[in-house]
Amino acid sequence: MSDPPKPKYRVASDKPFLIGLGVLAGSYLLIIGAMVFADLVFLNYGDQLILGNERVQQGRYVESAVPIRVEAGRTYHFRLGKNEVGLKHEGQMLAGEGLFKANTDEVQLQPRIPNAPITASLRPEARVIGIALTNHVATLTTDEPHGLLWGQFIRVHGAGAGWDGVHEITDTTTNQLSLALPEATKVATTVELTKPNPLVQALRSRDIQFSIMLSLISCTITTLLSIWVAVPIGYIMSRFDFRGKPLIDTLLDIPIVLPPLVVGLSLLILFRYAPDWLSDSVVYKWPAVILAQFMVACAFAVRTMRVSFDQIPQRYEQVALTLGCNRQQAFWRVIMPQAKGGLLAAATLSWARALGEFGPILVFAGATRQKTEVLPTSAFLELQAGRTEGMLAVSLIMIGAAVIVFLIARTLGMKRIFA
Amino acid sequence: MITLKNISIRQGGFELSGVNLTVAAGEYGVLMGRSGCGKTTILEAICGLRAIESGSIRLGDEEVSGLPPAERGVGYVPQDRALFPTMIVREQLAFALVLRKQPQTQIAARVNELAKLLGITHLLDRAPDKLSGGEAQRVALGRALAHRPAVLCLDEPLSALDEELHEEMCCLLEHIHRETGVTILHITHSPSEARRLAGCHFQMENGKVVRDEA
């Protein structure tokens, strides 16, 4: 009697597992990519017209269309609200958002729902009607209130040499603005103004330029300090056993666990007890920026260094000791060369962490323009001033800076490791 | 000569005490015993990598139990070989000599001499991760021998090798022993290896080392 044929052993396909991996990894990557992409798309890269006051009055629709007086021949910017069907202009219905040139002197806002509030917007283009030049300062008068602020940048075109280009506004009144034009020799006959895109505005602004510089410099100093401290701590925690080690381990985690804002507050309170000369030169000054970044970034560098030392077996040091090293020589000749990857990881991590640090800097260093303003502070200040586009421009600068620094660090690191 | 007199070692719950062992100068000693019985611990104590609680360790005429590993003049080949991953073979062989600040020409000469002795001249510019098991073993031996130690400690040097390489490495170890006259203490749990190589033969039993005359 023969045994019944043994069923052949089979394993399930790897496909579901691999697809699962791909989906989970991909969904996160997709969100990151989509987020950055949305920022890039949202930003208006073209120049914008200078617009005057709102022409749509607040109120409710009664029954029929609301007429609005316009000036024939002028360009208007129209934006549809949620309660309108469109804007009737010469029998045509305008919807959405855009510019149009008025050919009549009345347009009509068509309501979607009776008795609903009026939500559309119609703003005329502001035109330059007066041009003056005294001591290389141009004073331009607009026929509509321009709504621009001192310190913003404006693009002049169609005005000739010495005039055309992006200039900083040095003074404003409702209908006037002044620009310093050191190279302008004679009064221009026509001037057209547009607002350059927020990225240009941000990069031109001395405040933002300062905050880019302060961010890059403070992050680099923070990284160097973090590495300088994290290497010995990581090495001690990885190689030595002593009483109270769990306590020290916990202490090292405090900056990771605490909300960053609390770290800033704790620093601020600590410096109340410092001698005056010390607290006067740190608190609300640039050293406070570095200290606030360091407190948090260093904790991450310590963790990273400790893990990378833990991964290097002690056997290497032991062999080096028998070959004639003392502990110090074994550390520099045998351990550190192997910890290079970890060192690079710790450096990039603490740099990134420092770049994004905001809470403790706000509390401990303040948000003074041209003094303690770093990029996250700039983003916050822009947001507070209601300039979403400005904030977005600052965010893009941060993303750009981080990507460039990381690419450089990683290519250098790769070369070092694989050379 | 290696002389352990009455040494005791404690690590965590593990304890060895009253261990005695003597390997005469230029002899090939093999220490056998089951896994986990403390063979490696004794080897580490000789190298100075593990502190002893009492007793004395003498290498040659010198009492070394208070000396750092660097000053004991031992060559150590751990079981996993522990070749430094960031150095090419040439740098590994030169390592001990560079530490002793020997002139470049002497170092180069010694490295070539070692490479010839071990048959690894063609491997001098390789990274350790590009070496086979037998090749890595040769490099580890060369690294340990570079500074001409009087004593060579080998921790299961043949355990990870296949049958053919095994025999080849045995021949190599005998050859090295003959050429350099170094005193060797070799740890293994393989009786055949012990029979093949041993000049004197030790057995570890119940925490004691017994000289096996058979």
Q: Do B70 and A323 touch (CB under 8 A)?
A: yes
Residue A415 predicted with pLDDT over 70: no
- For B47, the closest of A316, A322, A329 (CB atoms) is A322
* Residue of B99, B114, B129 to mutate, testing the A interface (most A Cβ within 10 Å of its Cβ): B99
User: Average pLDDT over chain B, rounded to whole?
Assistant: 90
* Kind plus residue range of the DSSP H or E element containing B165: helix B163-180
Q: B39 pLDDT exceeds 70?
A: yes
Rounded to the nearest angstrom, the minimum Cα separation between B214 and chain A is 33
CB contact under 8 A, B85 and A321: no
Cross-strand pairs, B19:
B7
The reported pLDDT for the residue numbered B37 is 83
Determine contact, residues A268/A260, Cβ cutoff 8 Å: no
In this complex, do B70 and A319 lie within 8 Å of one another by their Cβ atoms? no
Write down the domain spans for chain B.
2-82+147-212
Separation between Cα atoms, residue B17 and residue A325, nearest integer Å = 29
Do the Cβ atoms of A290 and A225 come closer than 8 Å?
yes
User: Residue B148: which pLDDT band, with cuts at 50, 70 and 90?
Assistant: very high
Select A206-418's CATH number: 3.40.50.720, 3.30.70.1380, 1.20.1260.10, 1.10.3720.10.
1.10.3720.10
The CATH architecture that domain A128-196 belongs to is Beta Barrel (2.40)
Structure tokens at B189: 């749990």
Compute the C-alpha angle A380/A386/A392, nearest 5°. Answer: 60
The reply to whether A269 touches chain B by the CB within 8 Å rule is no
Q: How far is A336 from chain B (nearest CA, A)?
A: 10
Nearest by Cα to B44 from B13, B92, B7, B86: B7
Q: How far is CA A120 from the centre of its chain?
A: 31
Average pLDDT estimate for A261-279: 93
pLDDT higher than 90, residue B90? yes
- Please tell me whether residue A114 adopts helix, strand or coil conformation: coil
Query: What pTM did the predictor assign?
Result: 0.84
Mean pLDDT, residues A397-401 taken together: 91
Q: Which residues in chain A are contacts of B44 at CB distance < 8 A?
A: 318
State how far the alpha carbon of A243 is from the alpha carbons of A237, A254, A262, B155, in Å.
12, 19, 29, 32
**SS3 call for A240:** coil
What's the order of all strands across the beta sheet hosting B62-63?
Answer: B14-23, B2-11, B54-59, B62-63
pLDDT of residue A176: 93
- A302 three-class SS: helix
**Alpha helical stretches, state H, A126-244:** 198-204, 206-239
Structure tokens at B141: 């031996």
Higher model confidence: residue B36 or residue A27? A27
Sheet of B151-155, strands arranged across: B74-77, B151-155, B183-188, B28-32, B200-205, B208-212
For A16, A48, A327, B193, the CA distances from A227, given in Å and listed in that order, are 43, 46, 20, 49
pLDDT at A1: 58
User: CB contact, 8 Å: A59 with chain B?
Assistant: no
Q: Quote the tokens at residue B126.
A: 């390789």
Structure tokens at A141: 């008068």
**pLDDT of B214:** 54
The pLDDT value recorded for residue A414 is 67
Place of tokens 């697809």: A19
Query: Which of B41, B84, B155 is the best substitution to test chain A (most A C-beta atoms within 10 A)?
Result: B84
Distance CA B116, CA B194 (A): 26
**What average pLDDT does this structure show over A184-204?**
88
Q: How does residue A2 score in pLDDT terms, banded at 50, 70 and 90?
A: low
**For residue A156, what are the β-bridge partners?**
A165, A193
CB A193 within 8 A of CB A144: no
The Cα diameter of chain B in Å comes to: 50
Q: Which amino acid is at A80?
A: L
pLDDT at A419 over 50: no
Mean pLDDT of B159-168: 84
If one looks up domain B2-82+147-212 in CATH, what number appears? 3.40.50.300
> What is the average pLDDT score of chain A?
90
Q: What six digits make up the tokens of A190?
A: 């026509």
Residues 6+ apart with CB under 8 A from A190: A128, A158, A159
The answer to whether B72 contacts A322, with C-beta atoms less than 8 Å apart, is yes
Residue among B134, B145, B78 nearest B110 (CA): B145
Q: What's the pLDDT band for A416 if we cut at 50, 70, 90? A: low
Contact residues, chain B, for A333 at CB < 8 Å: 95
CA–CA separation, A238 vs A342, rounded Å? 14
- With tokens 């009664």, the residue in question is A62
Q: Express each pLDDT in A340-354 by its tens digit.
A: 889 998 999 999 999
Local structure of residue B128 (DSSP, 8 states):
G
Specify the residue for token string 């990557």. A29
* Residues in contact with A243: Cβ distance below 8 Å, sequence separation at least 6, in sequence order: none
Instruction: Say how far apart CA A221 and CA A354 lie, in whole Å.
Output: 10
CB contact (8 A) between residue B49 and residue A318: yes
Q: Which residues of chain A have a CB within 8 Å of the CB of B75?
A: 322
Q: Verify whether the Cβ–Cβ distance A318 to B99 is below 8 Å.
A: no
Q: What are phi and psi of B38, to 5 degrees?
A: 110, 15
> Measured between alpha carbons, how far is A114 from A112 in angstroms, rounded to an integer?
7
Structural domain boundaries of chain A? Answer: 48-124, 128-196, 206-418
On whether ipTM exceeds 0.90, the answer is: yes
